[in-house]
């Protein structure tokens, strides 16, 4: 399961997608909307995605992880649109025979996703909006 969605992410469905009889470990990462950035209160987050390229890049990252760790199954779902505090922006699930690989692979996936997947985040504060990371 590799997808961009405008609906709230169903975390349980993402986890269910990596169930495998040979898996002894599932690691799940959920990126949620925090109520602040550098101590400034955030009201809302808007995520924009270049859907076709984002899905292609997420699939490439999943393939890279699978080449490097003994992954049974992997799922990556990223949300776009307007998100409220506490909502999940991304859910990643990885199943492996043993636990260490599940942690390593899941962390690799979120770290790489943040570097290469064409998704943008605009933070809405009381005094205006900021495209995160756009400016030095």
Burial class of residue 35, CB neighbours in 10 A (0-12, 13-18, 19+): exposed
The residue within the footprint of a copy of itself, chosen from 107, 116, 121, 125 (CB under 8 A), is: 107
Alpha carbon distance 13, 11 (integer Å):
5
Q: Which is nearer to another protein, 22 or 24 (CB)?
A: 24
Nearest C-alpha neighbor of 30 from the set 109, 117, 120, 116? 109
Mask of contacts with another protein, 67-96, x by CB under 8 A? -----------x----------xx------
- Least separation in angstroms between residue 85's CB and a copy of itself is 5
119 contacts which partner out of another protein, a copy of itself, none, CB within 5 to 8 A by kind? another protein
Q: Is there binding between residue 125 and another protein (CB under 8 A)? A: no
**Binding segment (CB under 8 A) for a copy of itself, from list 51-59, 63-71, 92-100, 120-128:** 92-100
């Amino acid at each position: 399961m590799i997808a961009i969605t405008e609906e709230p992410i169903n975390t349980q469905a993402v986890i269910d997608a990596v169930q495998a009889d040979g898996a002894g470990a599932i690691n799940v990462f959920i990126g949620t909307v925090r109520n602040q950035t550098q101590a400034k209160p955030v009201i809302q987050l808007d995520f924009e995605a270049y859907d076709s390229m984002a899905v292609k890049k997420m699939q490439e990252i999943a393939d890279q992880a699978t080449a490097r760790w003994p992954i049974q199954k992997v799922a990556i779902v990223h949300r776009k649109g307007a998100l409220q505090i506490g909502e999940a922006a991304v859910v990643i699930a990885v199943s492996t025979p043993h636990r260490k690989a599940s942690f390593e692979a899941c962390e690799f996936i979120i770290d790489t996703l943040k570097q290469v997947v064409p998704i943008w985040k605009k933070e809405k504060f009381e005094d205006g909006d900021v495209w995160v990371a756009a400016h030095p």
